[in-house]
Amino acid sequence: MKLPITVFVLATTAFATSALAQPAQPLQPLPPADQAPPVQPDRVTLGPAAPLDNVDRREGNWRVELGYRGSYIRSAGYQPFSDNGFLPEVSIAASRTLFKSGRFSFASGIAWDEGSSDATARGDSASLSVQRLTVTLEGRLGFGPWGYAYLRAAPGAAMQKAEIDDPSSPDPLTKSNWLFATDISAGYAWLIFPRWQRSAVEPRLWLQAEGGYGWVAEQQLALAPALPSGSTERVTGVDLGTLALQGGYFRIAAAVSF
Amino acid sequence: MIARNLTLLGVACACLMVSCRGQSKYWTEPVATSGVTFGLAGGVAVVDDVDHRVVILTGTADQGLASQSFAIGHNFASAATSADGLTLFVLTTGDQPVQTKSDQLPQLTVIQFAPMTFQVQPKFPKVYQMAEPVSNLAIDPLGHYAVGYEGPGAAAAFAQNPNEIVIFDLTNDPAPQPTSLSQAAPNPVSRSIRSYGGTPQQLTFSPTLMLPANPAMTPGVEASARRLLLIETNLDVSIVDLTHAFDTPAVIADPYGRKEITVRLTSGTGTDSLSPTGLVIDPAEADGRIAFFTTGDSNVWSLQLVPSTATPPLNDFTPSINLTDVGSTPSAIQFVRTDSGLRVAALVPAMSSAMLVEPDTSVTTQVALPSPYSSMSLVTSVVNGPSSPTDVTLLWSAGSRASATGVALWALGNAVGQAYRSIEVLQIDAPIQAVLDVPAPNDNLKVLATAAGQGAGDFYVLDLVQRTANPIHTTSSPLLTIAPDGLRMWAYDQGFDLAQIDFTTLNPIPLTTETAIAAVYDIANPVGACPSGMPLCRSLVAINATGTLGATVFDALSPQATARQDVALLLEGP
């Protein structure tokens, strides 16, 4: 798993490097000195209605993302639920830039990933659904109109629900619980439009891609039928071993900043 | 530039995709749950062919099931248990055809368990490898031998010799094929029995016999203890001397053991095809007698294995054959001891009679029966005691189209002299489908299963001493299982209904399960797996053959309100 992650990070770094290597764009004519606005410090106070000036505000203050996350799980406990070890998820995230200094900035927000996987396990229908709620902590390095690279840590919690429908059981065998989860990733956000109005506070569209490693605490998959309350049946479930939703992942997303 | 970046991104994703791990065969292939459970004395064996293992389920104190797994070979063919329920035999055909060194040869896996703890015995499992696959297994009731054969059904390989049998000496460890005659014989040994067009259909192990019989007939001949394997093909009968089956041949290319004797049933001048059936062996050690009859023919064949002048590798005995016409096709035969000596009793339903055949002279005595009974079994030790000089047989008519109802006791003590006084009828208003033996301490009982649809689902508990037949009514035609400890029986209908019948009270205790019952096994819990204060206990395991196999477990001794379901028994991680 290390190799693919390394390659992915190299790829995202290549994005950044190529952004730096772009030929310089023709400079916009500066306004006359007497019309020049007061010089602003590079560190800005962020607000909803920043004045039109020479400050690069392309990252925006707020950011909303909608994307697709694919995780590669090598845990033996995941095999009953997937025929290829892949876990697809939908990602929704929102963040706000809290700090900016030169090309560097820091943003924080929340992210929600939701996905599921189905497979046939020894002839039974098996499914695993995951909901992951994390707090994102993101450091960004801006490259002007070419977007920015970022490193993201996202601690949080994941709710896993495993279910197997075995005809020998009176009810489907299930187990669900919340577990500690963390993602570490690196990525690149590419500014699509508009790219050149660096100071304008306006909605901007981004495409971004990241790769990283997702970690969810292990759990023992002791599945049991969900009997109705008050049932006097004595039913022994089945132990599928340990499930650890851990492994490399990628995420591609579209984002809007404003 | 964008294209280059996208290419790099694609390469990264492709690498991640390559790192994906697909499902193993364990998960992708469904579990076979039909015909894969086998009852042992202290557990239930479940063959999981996909995972090349057998899972042994044992009872726990709270009606749970503990499991332990043992590896078996590839491609399960058949399994059997020993008479005492302590040994499991699993036959696998291996990877056919063998193409690489990692492909597996056919093998027999033998797993033996300790009587009380039901822990696997030291040195077990034992794996006996074979050169060619076979599909069926016959187990010696005395536990000395096992024999693999192809038998009826599909061949295990593309091209196969159906007359090859594989003899395993279960008292010795597996041994490979030697490279020289000075080395020990292999275990197992394979041989191809002589064939005149027939193939083995039914294998019977003899008790210990002193052979040749009547050694005094030939000077210098001494009898010695032998075990025989009697092979009924669809055209003839072969006799293999198991005691000498591992004798070293004179030339290494020759098969091990003494050559078999083939009793041809057709003269070679006609086109009639006669198949042997109903083979029985005289249990008297010194007599060396075998009898059988053939389908569609009225003759009873009686053989005595008398001295031969042949020298090894030929046998030192040869069959002396008597054919006796009993008037019509018999349905069952048995060696019986009568007031006039040893006879072959043959039931002839078409004549509503039994014929007693003197095996040496072919003199017959006809005994008229009150009904055209078609089946019989010896019940001498129960009715007259083990030291009785003459036999008692239980007669009944088997099969759903049987024309006789009820059962009868046939006392052979006066069968030849006063045949009309030898039959005692126990009236039961339904044809009997099967007679089930009850082990000691209730071996005076027989359970009579009636034919489906003709007895309204009744079955009877027959007391051979009291001459009583207690009916038990059920709402459907049940399947019956006798507990190995002889204290109770179980009736179930492959639905959700189950009943325990204690042989002391004959009072049925109705039970129900949440899932359909495919089979039930009354097993002893291992020592230490009983509720506190109970040194011994038993579990009733009702198998549900759906999904990945489930079971409902009851306390077999006091089953009410003790049910616990164990679900998805073969679903646990590999």
* ipTM value: 0.82
What is the model's pLDDT at position B399? 65
Whether A106 has a pLDDT exceeding 50, the answer reads yes
Mean of the per-residue pLDDT values of chain B? 89
- Smallest Cα–Cα separation from A213: which of A255, A186, A247, A240? A247
What is the model's pLDDT at position B269? 60
Pick from A1, A122, A236: CB nearest B31: A122
Q: Are A240 and B548 within 8 A, CB to CB?
A: no
Q: How far is B237 from chain A (nearest CA, A)?
A: 45
Mean of the per-residue pLDDT values of chain A? 83
Residue A245 φ then ψ, to 5°: -80, 80
Pick from B11, B27, B546: CB nearest A7: B11
Q: Provide the pLDDT confidence category of residue A9 given band limits of 50, 70 and 90.
A: very low
What is the model's pLDDT at position B458? 82
Distance CA B49, CA A137 (A): 51
Task: Provide the pairing of β-strand B299-307 with B392-396.
Answer: unpaired
What is the model's pLDDT at position B397? 84
- For the ranges B181-185, B291-295, B298-302, which has the lowest average pLDDT? B181-185
The stretch B290-315 carries a mean pLDDT of 90
Q: Provide the pLDDT confidence category of residue B4 given band limits of 50, 70 and 90.
A: low
The stretch B207-226 carries a mean pLDDT of 89
The stretch B141-160 carries a mean pLDDT of 85
- The verdict on B29 touching A (C-beta cutoff 8 Å) is yes
Q: Are B548 and A76 within 8 A, CB to CB?
A: no
- The verdict on B22 touching A (C-beta cutoff 8 Å) is yes
What is the model's pLDDT at position B430? 78
- The verdict on B560 touching A (C-beta cutoff 8 Å) is no
Q: Provide the pLDDT confidence category of residue B112 given band limits of 50, 70 and 90.
A: very high
DSSP string, B356-392: EE-TTT--EEEEE-SS---EEEE-HHHHT-TT-SS-E
Q: Are B16 and A235 within 8 A, CB to CB?
A: no
Q: Provide the pLDDT confidence category of residue B548 given band limits of 50, 70 and 90.
A: very high
Residues of A in contact with B564 (CB under 8 A): 234-236
- For the ranges A19-23, B56-60, B90-94, B137-141, which has the lowest average pLDDT? A19-23
Residues of B in contact with A236 (CB under 8 A): 64-65, 564-567
| Contact pairs from chain A to chain B, CB under 8 Å | 163
Q: Are B571 and A234 within 8 A, CB to CB?
A: no
Q: Provide the pLDDT confidence category of residue B19 given band limits of 50, 70 and 90.
A: low
Which of B11, B19, B69 to mutate: most A Cβ within 10 Å?
Answer: B19
What is the model's pLDDT at position B419? 60
pLDDT, tens digit, for every residue of A161-185? 999 999 999 899 999 999 999 999 9
- CA–CA distances in Å: residue B310 to residues B313, B314, B365, B402: 8, 6, 36, 47
pLDDT, tens digit, for every residue of B376-424? 999 999 888 888 999 999 999 876 555 677 889 998 887 666 665 678 8
Q: Provide the pLDDT confidence category of residue B48 given band limits of 50, 70 and 90.
A: very high
Q: How far is A49 from chain B (nearest CA, A)?
A: 34
**Cβ contact B332:B353 at 8 Å:** no
Q: Which of residues 195-224 of A touch B (CB under 8 A)?
A: 209, 211, 221, 223
Pick from A8, A84, A173: CB nearest B567: A173
- For the ranges A21-30, B24-33, B407-416, B464-473, which has the lowest average pLDDT? A21-30
What is the model's pLDDT at position A6? 42
The stretch B286-310 carries a mean pLDDT of 92
Q: Which of residues 134-173 of A touch B (CB under 8 A)?
A: 164, 166-170, 173
Q: Comparing A114 with B235, which gets the higher pLDDT?
A: A114
Q: Comparing A193 with B280, which gets the higher pLDDT?
A: B280
Most confident of A35-49, B111-125, B461-475: B111-125
Q: Are A120 and B27 within 8 A, CB to CB?
A: yes
Q: Are B20 and A85 within 8 A, CB to CB?
A: yes
What is the model's pLDDT at position B423? 87
The stretch B456-465 carries a mean pLDDT of 85
Which of B65, B567, B570 to mutate: most A Cβ within 10 Å?
Answer: B567
What is the model's pLDDT at position A153? 98
- The verdict on B267 touching A (C-beta cutoff 8 Å) is no
Most confident of A96-100, A152-156, A221-225, B93-97: A152-156
What is the model's pLDDT at position B2? 52
What is the model's pLDDT at position A53? 66
pLDDT, tens digit, for every residue of B334-347? 999 998 899 999 99
What is the model's pLDDT at position A47? 45
| Tokens at B303, concatenated | 């053989």
Q: Provide the pLDDT confidence category of residue B10 given band limits of 50, 70 and 90.
A: low
- The verdict on A70 touching B (C-beta cutoff 8 Å) is yes
The model's pTM is 0.86
Helices and strands in chain A, H and E counts:
1, 11
Nearest C-alpha in B relative to A82: B23
Nearest C-alpha in B relative to A251: B13
Q: Are A236 and B9 within 8 A, CB to CB?
A: no
What is the model's pLDDT at position A36? 42
Instruction: Please report how many Cα atoms fall inside a 13 Å half-sphere around the Cα of residue B129, on the Cβ side.
Output: 9
The stretch B118-140 carries a mean pLDDT of 94
Whether B311 has a pLDDT exceeding 70, the answer reads yes
| Tokens at B489, concatenated | 């029986």
- For the ranges A242-246, B1-5, B115-119, which has the lowest average pLDDT? B1-5
Residues of A in contact with B12 (CB under 8 A): 4, 7-8, 10-11, 211, 250
Q: Are B572 and A8 within 8 A, CB to CB?
A: no
The stretch B73-95 carries a mean pLDDT of 95
Q: Are A168 and B63 within 8 A, CB to CB?
A: no
- For the ranges A4-13, A74-83, B292-301, which has the lowest average pLDDT? A4-13
End-to-end CA distance of chain A: 36
The stretch B169-194 carries a mean pLDDT of 89
- The verdict on A82 touching B (C-beta cutoff 8 Å) is yes
Query: Where are the alpha helices (H) located in chain A, listed in sequence order?
Result: 2-20
Nearest C-alpha in B relative to A210: B9
What is the model's pLDDT at position B564? 95
Whether B370 has a pLDDT exceeding 60, the answer reads yes
- The verdict on B26 touching A (C-beta cutoff 8 Å) is yes
- The verdict on B512 touching A (C-beta cutoff 8 Å) is no
Q: B476-501 burial string, b = 16+ CB within 10 Å, else e?
A: ebbebbbbbbbbbbbbbbeebbbbbb
Q: Hey, is A198 helix, strand or coil?
A: coil
pLDDT, tens digit, for every residue of A19-48? 333 444 444 444 444 444 444 444 444 444
Q: How far is B19 from chain A (nearest CA, A)?
A: 6
What is the model's pLDDT at position A35? 46
- The verdict on B6 touching A (C-beta cutoff 8 Å) is no
What is the model's pLDDT at position A3? 40
Q: What is the 3-state secondary structure (H, E, C) of A17-71?
A: HHHHCCCCCCCCCCCCHHHCCCCCCCCCCCCCCCCCCCCCCCCCCEEEEEEEEEE
Q: Comparing B433 with B436, which gets the higher pLDDT?
A: B436
Q: Provide the pLDDT confidence category of residue B151 given band limits of 50, 70 and 90.
A: confident
Which of A20, A82, A236, A240 to mutate: most B Cβ within 10 Å?
Answer: A236
Residue A252: CB atoms within 10 Å: 17
DSSP string, B64-100: -EEEEEEE--SSEEEEEE-TTS-EEEEEE--SSS--S
Q: Provide the pLDDT confidence category of residue B136 given band limits of 50, 70 and 90.
A: very high
**Cβ contact B516:B495 at 8 Å:** yes
Q: Are A85 and B21 within 8 A, CB to CB?
A: yes
